[in-house]
Structure 1
Amino acid sequence: MSSPPTGWAALLTGVNAVRTLALVGGVALHAINLYIGTTILPSVVRDIGGLEFYAWNTALFVVASIISAAMATQVLGKLGPRFAYVLGAAIFALGSLACALAPSMSVMLAGRVVQGFGGGLLLALPYAMIRLLYDEALWSRAIGLLSGMWGVATLVGPAIGGVFAQMDAWRMAFGALIPAAALFTLLAVSVIPRRNTPSSPASPVPWLQLFLLAGAVFAVSAGSVSPQLAWNAGGVAVAIALSVLLVITDKRASNRLLPKDAFRPGPLGALYLAMALLAMMVTSTEIFSPLFFQVLHAQTPLASGYLAAIMSAGWTLGSLISSSATGGRARLAIRIAPVLALAGLVGMAVLMPSPSDGSWQVLAPICIAMVAVGFAVGIAWPHLSTRVLQIAPQGEEDLAASSIMTVELFATAMGAALAGMLANLGGLSSPGGVPGTAGAAQWLFAVFTLAPALCLLTSRHTANPGSPATRQTADGTA
């Protein structure tokens, strides 16, 4: 009699194969949607207007994702795995329908918010359900597959968005997500159990902190609409005030977004800051790159989508190469990353704003600079994440693990909002056209060189954060 399958075979055969397809499908929908959105946005604004709200599409989607992801364990506990997943897919499909039918940018943004709520559940629920659906020996492989969906998204998302945009049918790109959501819903209904296994009750959702977080992003987004510097400064000032309130509130709360040590001078705070700056740097660059390639370098929507996605491909490549590094090699990766990213952003600030005929002699150096930025983040990210887990205060290890995604998503949303502000200051909406787009590219990349420069200042703490033996307990005692 043959023995039962183990390892990857156990995860990818029988009922586990269908469960795995359902779970990775949820993460893939969220990730692919991000790349579809960035690829087709130039076509969207040409059709329904709203160029000054260009970056809001990403910012609002991600903020809604943060809020719903924070609610995922509560939804899972109340509805059970099956119906929690169905709810997330249904909300995502409803938002996709609203985007597909949007007659104006205001309706599009509302649809993106609804999409974000559904997408956040589809992103967070699979991670929470792994322990319910698989034996412990399969957990690491299942997590690896879920993470790998972001790499798949860099291939599939620009293709879907680019093909439909070139057909002058961008609405169908959003519409195509609806049957995909329905398919994964049917799979979930067929193989995901209705009820949870007994577990400890989920922690309350930190609503006040989430409200302040969302308010900070919205303040920057609101400030970005006007090309007036005073209006922009007001939005940033409000965002800073709300961020300070967020820190004060989270430090005092019994149910926190981040471990207590995240807001004290020292290694953990430096690690979170470095991760936020690196994630923000990639987001700010990616969301506008398809527009820059189309307007300034005569690229088709399909080509511009893939050119923009090479930064994420560089992130994936860097992570694969660097993830096995230990000791001195890991510290070297963390120290090199800001230098490489700074060089890449300087290259983009110099090369991207100059209009061209789109020849490869012009595009190749720009692509090399973009890959350099993504690769820099990729070689540092695994080690920064690992160090967060290693030095997390005792009693807050689970919170530290979940907070990594919170920091990344918040940085993504804030990066999108700041990118929109800088692009409009540079002239994207006024005067617009080729001169305005060139000015937007120059402002955007030049100002965001501050992100890797600040990372250099944190490298002493991030490269040598200490050891688990020196961790503090959650109440601050040694």
Structure 2
Amino acid sequence: MPSVTASSADPSEMPPTASWAELFTGRNGWRALALTGGVALHAVNVHIVTTVLPSVVREIRGLDWYAWSTTLFVVGSILGATLSVRLLAVLGPRGACLAALAVFTAGSVGCALAPAMPWLLAGRTVQGLGGGLLGALSYGLIQLVFAQRLWPRAVALVSGMWGVATLCGPAVGGLFAQAGHWRWAFWFLLPVAAAQALLVAVQLRPGAGVRHVRPAAMPGIPLLQIGLLAASVLAIAASGLLPRLAWQASGVVAGLAIGVAATRIDRRAAVRLLPTGAYALSAPLGAIYASVALLLVGVTTEIFVPYFLQTLHGHSPLAAGYLTAAMAGGWSAGSLLSSGRSGAGANRMLRAGPVACTLGLAALALLLPFPGRLGQGFETSLVAAALAVVGLGVGIGWPHLVTRVMSLAPQGEGGLASASITTIQLYGMAVGAAVAGLVANAAGLTVPGGVEGAQSAAVWLFASFALAPALAALLAYRVIAAAPRRW
């Protein structure tokens, strides 16, 4: 992978954002489609699995392992994201994307054939590996194929693929689940992956103007740091299986301690997982990374929404899937609408986003547990609006968070910074999913279970997870206030 030099200048001095027309004109448009198709496939899969998972656990059992489907998927994605730099250097843009699609396809086949929950979890891990590669490669290629003025638009387009997924992911998952054929939801992904592979093979070929300069030395792989991050997430998730609350809390503390150890080792490592300055909250880059992780922790509550909607509100799998997809729809809409902002406008988006996310989660803590108080139609509308606000809060700041990571990366660490966006995003999701499972189970999801357990779990889950974007809001205000002195 060629070294991408990123400026460490004030983000407010970046070139004016280009128009959407320039991104979609000529060769740029085909490249954008090739980059974003893999993310769309990954996003559709996420919504399919979220929608069919209640049906899955009813057939092959494993409610205790409900959150592990997301936890292991994201652990695999972290590994994929960190390997993407090496894969891109060795195989080039086209070869790396095709390899990622092949891994993702293998995981989908494993899920479709799963006879029991352990098999499904193994398939989800492999799916996550392919999905992490696809996501990181999309961000990494933005800097290689587009001019800097197109970066915010390209980032917003990648985020917008989650909006595309809201149109078809819940429909595919919901229709197959209602028909009693959830396995076909995974088989559905195979022809989509084949079509994307054909597009990549044509549009990212070396003769199409896509640069690939093989580096003199292959990028190293931070295996120790990756292993520690995976161990951190798994320790947190496994603590939910312990019989006593005190033991569970100790497991969470141990998992977080392993994560801290990974950061300390990475600071001194010759082969780094994150760029220089990523671990200091007092530095702009570190504060932005922390904001990304906290926002993603907040939105992982999405994995339990279909279960609560079906168990407490009596919605069908299809209806629950589409309601849940409102969160991703809000993310996409916010990202696309805010991507043209720069300077003071971008700062406003960075401030407002975490606040909106916090308010949306707080509203869900009031709306989801106790249905029937406001009338079903009106109540359903309020739930959909609250979910959309959570996603909107992440989306309106997302293009500016990612662009600032790229622009603030130290000299010569642009490629690492691009891949690390996905790494941080996924680690936040993995920790969030693991803690969400722990909180939900501790609050009664499985014991006493049923309606009573689901009500208690919903209250505790959304109320506690609203704290994560609230902390991100404080970081955003502090960083922006310090901008004249630091940036």
CA distance in 1, matches of 2:213, 2:359: 51
SS at match of 1:262: coil
The alpha-carbon distance between structure 1 residues 25 and 388, as it changes in their structure 2 partners (threshold 3 A), is closer
Q: Contact 1:274–1:458 (CA<8 Å) still a contact in 2? A: yes
The letter of the residue matching 1:307 is L
The letter of the residue matching 2:346 is A
Equivalent of 2:303 in 272, 283, 287: 287
More moved, 380-389 vs 359-368: 380-389
CA deviation map 1:247-306 (0-9, x unaligned)? 1101111222223322224133222222211111012x2111111111110111111111
Answering whether residue 437 of structure 2 is matched by residue 420 of structure 1, we say yes
More moved, 317-326 vs 385-394: 385-394
Match in the other structure for 2:67 = 55
Deviation at 1:190, TM superposition (A): 5.1
Deviation at 1:207, TM superposition (A): 1.2
Answering whether residue 400 of structure 2 is matched by residue 383 of structure 1, we say yes
Deviation at 1:29, TM superposition (A): 1.6
Match in the other structure for 2:293 = 276
CA distance in 2, matches of 1:325, 1:80: 33
SS at match of 1:260: coil
Match in the other structure for 2:330 = 314
What TM-score does the superposition give when structure 2 sets the normalisation length?
Answer: 0.86
Q: How many residues align?
A: 460
Q: Contact 1:391–1:466 (CA<8 Å) still a contact in 2? A: no
Match in the other structure for 1:103 = 115
Answering whether residue 76 of structure 2 is matched by residue 64 of structure 1, we say yes
Match in the other structure for 1:205 = 221
CA deviation map 1:433-478 (0-9, x unaligned)? 11111111111011112213323432342323426x956xxxxxxx
Deviation at 1:146, TM superposition (A): 3.7
Match in the other structure for 1:296 = 312
CA distance in 2, matches of 1:411, 1:330: 23
Deviation at 1:131, TM superposition (A): 7.0
CA distance in 1, matches of 2:32, 2:155: 10
Deviation at 1:321, TM superposition (A): 3.0
The alpha-carbon distance between structure 1 residues 464 and 388, as it changes in their structure 2 partners (threshold 3 A), is farther
The alpha-carbon distance between structure 1 residues 306 and 202, as it changes in their structure 2 partners (threshold 3 A), is farther
Q: Contact 2:222–2:271 (CA<8 Å) still a contact in 1? A: yes
SS at match of 1:71: helix
The alpha-carbon distance between structure 1 residues 31 and 443, as it changes in their structure 2 partners (threshold 3 A), is same
CA distance in 1, matches of 2:42, 2:437: 22
CA distance in 1, matches of 2:414, 2:99: 29
Please list, as runs of the form range in 1=range in 2, the aligned pairs for 1:84-103 lying within 5 A after superposition.
Answer: 84-103=96-115
The letter of the residue matching 2:187 is G
Deviation at 1:81, TM superposition (A): 4.2
CA distance in 2, matches of 1:137, 1:336: 25
Q: Contact 2:100–2:131 (CA<8 Å) still a contact in 1? A: yes
Q: Contact 1:95–1:114 (CA<8 Å) still a contact in 2? A: yes
Q: Contact 1:423–1:443 (CA<8 Å) still a contact in 2? A: yes
Deviation at 1:231, TM superposition (A): 3.0
More moved, 199-208 vs 76-85: 76-85
Q: Contact 2:156–2:335 (CA<8 Å) still a contact in 1? A: no
The alpha-carbon distance between structure 1 residues 121 and 292, as it changes in their structure 2 partners (threshold 3 A), is same
Match in the other structure for 2:474 = 457
SS at match of 2:335: helix
Match in the other structure for 1:235 = 251
Equivalent of 1:256 in 264, 272, 280: 272
Answering whether residue 445 of structure 2 is matched by residue 433 of structure 1, we say no
CA deviation map 1:119-166 (0-9, x unaligned)? 22233334545677x576997576654443222112221111111111
Deviation at 1:218, TM superposition (A): 0.6
More moved, 156-165 vs 340-349: 340-349
Unaligned regions of 5+ residues in structure 2, if any?
A: 1-20
Higher relative contact order (CA 8 A, sep 6+): 2
Please list, as runs of the form range in 1=range in 2, the aligned pairs for 1:12-161 lying within 5 A after superposition.
Answer: 17=30, 21-128=33-140, 140=151, 145-161=157-173
CA distance in 2, matches of 1:46, 1:395: 51
Q: Contact 1:227–1:424 (CA<8 Å) still a contact in 2? A: no
CA deviation map 1:193-242 (0-9, x unaligned)? 37974332442111111111111111111112346312321221221220
CA distance in 1, matches of 2:66, 2:26: 45
Q: Contact 1:346–1:449 (CA<8 Å) still a contact in 2? A: yes
- Percent identity among equivalent residues? 48
Q: Contact 2:23–2:154 (CA<8 Å) still a contact in 1? A: no
The letter of the residue matching 2:481 is N
More moved, 230-239 vs 259-268: 259-268
More moved, 361-370 vs 81-90: 81-90
CA distance in 2, matches of 1:214, 1:271: 22
The letter of the residue matching 2:421 is I
Deviation at 1:104, TM superposition (A): 0.7
Q: Contact 2:73–2:128 (CA<8 Å) still a contact in 1? A: yes
CA distance in 1, matches of 2:191, 2:32: 19
Q: Contact 1:266–1:461 (CA<8 Å) still a contact in 2? A: no
Q: Contact 1:30–1:119 (CA<8 Å) still a contact in 2? A: yes
Q: Contact 2:159–2:332 (CA<8 Å) still a contact in 1? A: no
SS at match of 1:163: helix
CA deviation map 1:347-405 (0-9, x unaligned)? 21112111449811222222222222222222233333344344444454443343222
Match in the other structure for 2:365 = 349
